[in-house]
Structure 1
Amino acid sequence: MKAKILLFTFAILCVALITGCENDDFKEVVGVCPIVESTTPLSNALDVPLGQIITATFNEEMDPSSITSTSFTVVGAAPIAGTVTYTGNTASFTPTLPLAENTTYTARIATKAKDLMGNFLQVEHVWAFSTGTLLRPIVITTDPINNAIAVPFNKTISATFNMAMDPSTLNATTFKVNQGVNVVAGAITYTGTTVSFVPTNPLLANKIYTVTITTGAKNSLNTAMVADYVWNFTTDIIPTVTATDPINNAIDVALNQTVTANFSTIMDASTINGTTFTLKQGTTTIPGTVSYSGTTASFNPTNSLVIGKVYTATITNGAKNVVGTPLASDYVWNFTTILAPPAAIVVDLGTAAMFGAFGGNAGMTNEGLNTVINNGSIGTTAASSMVTGFHDGVAIYTETGLNVGNVTGDIFTAPPAPGTATSFAIAQKALLDANAAYLSISPASKPGGSDPNAGELGGLTLAPGVYKSASGTFKISNGNLTLDAQGDPNATWIFQTAAGLTVGIAGPTGAKSVIMKNGGLANNVFWYVGSAATINGAGGGTMVGTIIANSGVTFSTSGNAAQTVLNGRAISLVSSVTMVNTTINVP
């Protein structure tokens, strides 16, 4: 029996000598030696994340009670605190605090670690690794930008980072919006590298908001920002109507009134239109043109307003400023037009009133067989030779077989015959009177004229009054012009243009006319023209009123057979008057 025991003991000692393992029961015993097969990080690893969990994996299952903070240690500049756990064949060391940047650490598994058979690690396992300098997340852009103003009330607030973030760290604790001390409620989302905050309720007008992203926001490697990121913005003001013309409840408003409204801020011109800016008389919608410039919206009625009526103007909250903020509510105001027709405007033509046409000091020309001056004369301070293609009851002025103009009154020129000293004196006086009348209807003498449609009179119906072209020219090209006397026999119209007057457009159907309505008289229509007037160059049409132009009047063009009619007078102060198959009916 003793021999058997000695033989067994010898066998154990032999195996122990071969394996080199130790356990608690024998100094040297038979068994497989535990070893560390792998580690995380690897030995000599660089740029290890600061949140790294350090692990060692063994070749066999170990005794968990031997895997402790005394057998598994990590040392940097000093030993670091951490929690040691063991699962499967792997021991883990979780640092209590993140590792330091740019630091070398030494991890150590001591020989106190043993397997389930009690076999100890024969040689402690030691490895080193180094952390790097971290690329920390930063906010690179925000919307709104810092110190932005006029921010819309429905603004989605966002911030974009320089790298991918951990979405779980972007929440109501790390992304905060405040208005003063008040916390703003909202929903937070994260996409790509951008975090967004959608307020639950619209932001308040004209308030400063503060947005904070704290260092609790971390990237996908669990690295935090160095410091909180804070920015501010101010919300928009609500636009208001600050003034109107006419003012609310105004009375005696002119029938050619352009209705305007001034805003407290610049508006989005596309939202100022015929839907958002309307004018009504009772339940009747008034047609007109809406325009916007600077901070002013304008409504130009297509037709003249009616005497003694109450009108209601409305600008709806569909009108918005340039960042999309609407009026808080519709803005409504009323006004009443004049209760009686305006006083008659008296224009004294003097001796010029008897002339159907006057060619200043440059003469007059007719081209056509059917030109006639009814109930009036023609004249010029130029020599009689400067009048061609006309005759009166006494003399012929260079007519040809193709150019015949019948003047039912007289022709007044300077000599030679048939001009005389007497006719010359009459022509001079007429030119002086015409010039005086020209000055009397000028903007200087009759200020306050309005431009109902940016210089285009075609297609309009206008009440009596003074009209002045803002651009310096008047046209009648988009249709006929109607002048509505509204039953007033003294209704007077004065049109002022610093430069030209053009009636009609090119083409066989291009002629345009002036139509008198409700008792309007041609004798009460006056045209102040700073340069030249061209009346229906394509021939045809009916013009109305006394035209006093500084630099000439032309009717039709050579070769046109269609008769062009003027119910009025054509007076040029300097240049000539030219007619082609023209009828002038002097009122």
Structure 2
Amino acid sequence: MIQLKKMFSAAVIVAASLLIVGCENNDSPVYTPTTNSTPTITAQSPSSNATNVVLNKVISITFSEAMNSSTINTTTFSLKQGTTSVLGTVGYSGTTATFTPSVALSSGIIYSATISTGAKSTAGISLAVNTTWNFTTGVNAQGLSTVGLGAAGNYVILAKTAINNNPTSTITGDLGLSPAATSYITGLSITNATGYATSAQVTGKIYAADMASPTSTNLTTAVNDMTTAYNDAAGRPSPDFSELGTGNIGGKTLTEGLYKWTNTVTAPTNLIISGSSTDIWIFQIAGDLTVSSGVKITLSGGAQAKNIFWQVAGTVSIGTTAEFKGVILSKTGITLARGAAFTGRALAQTAVILDGNVVTKP
């Protein structure tokens, strides 16, 4: 009996050793758990019973998990006006399905969108029930209007209290600082000229409030316009998406529209912003915005960084080597960690902190 126990123990040790070796060699584990959860709908746009929906609206659904794209089609995702089916195309990316009508919707009409149980997760599990919701169109042909930046749009970086850089960054576009003086711009090894300064790290000019006229006046106008733009973005009513992902937007595909969160938003994994070259995105964030290291924002379908507005009441933190897109309107500060790449505009009502970044105007 003792000998058998020893043999059994030895076998367990050998098996465990083999499993460890396999893991160290990046082999597939012996046991892989599977997910058998039933997929649900976590967001839809337009929302149920929404009114004044624009006539060029792209209908979208966000699922609780990744779906089998082959099951997301015009059979499972449909739009009707009464009993008449609306022609359109269906797309799927990340966890979001979209229905794009072939022609503009009619004004003042009730439409019903349906996603059926034919839609299945990657594990082959269907939605629990068919889901149908209604919305009513308005009279406007277009969706969100852009956020006007005014003179703030002349700068790729604009701040009030400081612009601090840990070399070496590569910046394309002009920088502005007001009401703080030139001494609060650090790490750029600037060379002063009349009314502006230059830097080997900047393809553009650098302006501060203490420089020769008319720089101070121009910056005052730009800073005021930055505040106006922030208030415009923050005050847009009737969001298409509220509390999406309870603030976690990692892995999601974000279609055009107005998004609202009453707390912090995080992006721990890659995400996609999908839409046409004329679509507008406004993200209203009452807390902080935190993008994890290495996270990449990808634009698809023609979406442009200049049409994406991140209105953030708290701080903005872009992680190491992350790739961020869009115009940031921050009521406080913006920090880019080492090696992060940013295509857009960093417009902060306090400071902008850089650390060996690539910053490019949209």
Q: TM-score with structure 2 length normalisation?
A: 0.65
Deviation at 1:333, TM superposition (A): 3.3
Alignment partner for residue 495 of structure 1, among 283, 286, 303?
Answer: 283
C-alpha distance in structure 2 between counterparts of 1:398 and 1:274, whole Å: 50
- Cα deviation for residue 312 of structure 1 reads 2.4
Instruction: Work out which of the residue numbers 511, 525, 532 in structure 1 matches 2:308.
Output: 525
Instruction: Give the superposition deviation at 1:434.
Output: 0.4
1:482 maps onto 2:272 in alignment: yes
Match of 2:250?
458
d(CA) in 1 for partners of 2:65, 2:228: 43
Deviation per residue, 1:90-130 (Å, 9 max, x gap): xxxxxxxxxxxxxxxxxxxxxxxxxxxxxxxxxxxxxxxxx
**Structure 1 or 2: larger helix share?**
2
Q: Which residue of 1 aligns with 2:209?
A: 414
Q: 1:331 to 1:576 in 2, by over 3 A?
A: closer
Residue 119 of structure 2 is aligned to residue 343 of structure 1: no
Q: Which residue in the other structure is 2:8 paired with?
A: none
1:570 pairs with 2:307 = no
Q: Which residue of 2 aligns with 1:377?
A: 175
Contact map agreement 1:414 1:421 (CA 8 A) in 2: no
Relative distance call for 1:578 and 1:426 in structure 2 (3 A) is same
Instruction: Give, in whole Å, the separation in 1 of the partners of 2:330 and 2:158.
Output: 10
Determine helix, strand or coil for the equivalent of 1:458: coil
Unpaired runs of at least 5, structure 1? 1-243, 261-271, 287-300, 317-328, 505-509
Call closer, same or farther: CA 1:303–1:385 in 2, change over 3 Å.
Answer: same
Q: Secondary structure at the match of 1:454?
A: helix
> How far apart are the structure 2 equivalents of 1:382 and 1:395?
18
Q: 1:485-537: per-residue Cα shift (whole Å, max 9, x none)?
A: 1xx32111111101111111xxxxx311211101111110101000210011x
1:545 is aligned, of 292, 312, 326, to 326
Larger of the two Rg values belongs to structure? 1
User: Could you tell me which residue of structure 1 aligns to residue 99 of structure 2?
Assistant: 306
Does structure 2 conserve the Cα–Cα contact (< 8 Å) formed by 1:255 and 1:337? no
Higher normalized contact order (CA 8 Å, seq sep 6+, divided by chain length): 2
Which of 427, 442, 445 does residue 219 from structure 2 map onto?
427
Which of these residues, 131, 134, 152, is aligned with residue 352 of structure 1? 152
* Residues 227-238 of structure 1 aligned to structure 2 (within 5 Å): none
Q: Secondary structure at the match of 1:433?
A: helix
Question: For structure 2, which runs of at least 5 residues remain unmatched after alignment?
Answer: 1-45, 79-93, 103-111, 119-127
Q: Structure 1 residue 572: deviation in Å? A: 0.7
For 1:83-102, what aligned pairs fall within 5 Å after superposition? none
Residues 1:393 and 1:484: Cα distance change in structure 2 (over 3 Å): farther
C-alpha deviation, 1:447, in angstroms: 3.5
CA contact 1:256–1:462 (8 Å) conserved in 2:
no
Q: What is the CA–CA distance in structure 2 between the aligned matches of 1:427 and 1:580, rounded to whole Å?
A: 24
Deviation digits for residues 146-188 of structure 1, max 9, x if unmatched? Answer: xxxxxxxxxxxxxxxxxxxxxxxxxxxxxxxxxxxxxxxxxxx
Task: Return the offset for 1:481.
Answer: 1.6
CA distance in 2, matches of 1:552, 1:367: 16
> For 1:441, what is the secondary structure of its paired residue?
helix
* Number of positions where the alignment pairs a residue of Structure 1 with one of Structure 2: 276
1:428 is displaced (CA, Å) by: 1.1
The aligned counterpart of 2:48 is: 246
Structure 1 position 315, deviation (Å): 8.1
Q: Residues 386, 259 of structure 1: CA spacing in aligned structure 2 closer, same or farther, 3 A cutoff?
A: closer
Q: 1:376 to 1:384 in 2, by over 3 A?
A: closer
Match of 1:364 in 2: 163
The 8 Å contact of residues 347 and 440 in structure 1, kept in 2 or not, is answered as yes
Where does residue 355 of structure 2 map in the other structure?
A: 580
* Residue 387 (str. 1) matches residue 194 (str. 2): no
Equivalent residue letter for 1:379: L
The verdict on how the C-alpha distance between 1:534 and 1:583 changes in structure 2, with shifts beyond 3 A counting, is same
Query: Residues 30-45 of structure 1 correspond to what in structure 2 (within 5 A)?
Result: none
- Structure 2 vs 1, CA of residues 493 and 577 (structure 1 numbering), >3 Å: closer, same or farther? same
Partners of 2:358 and 2:171 in 1: CA distance: 6
The change in CA–CA distance for 1:383 and 1:453 in structure 2 (over 3 A counts) is same
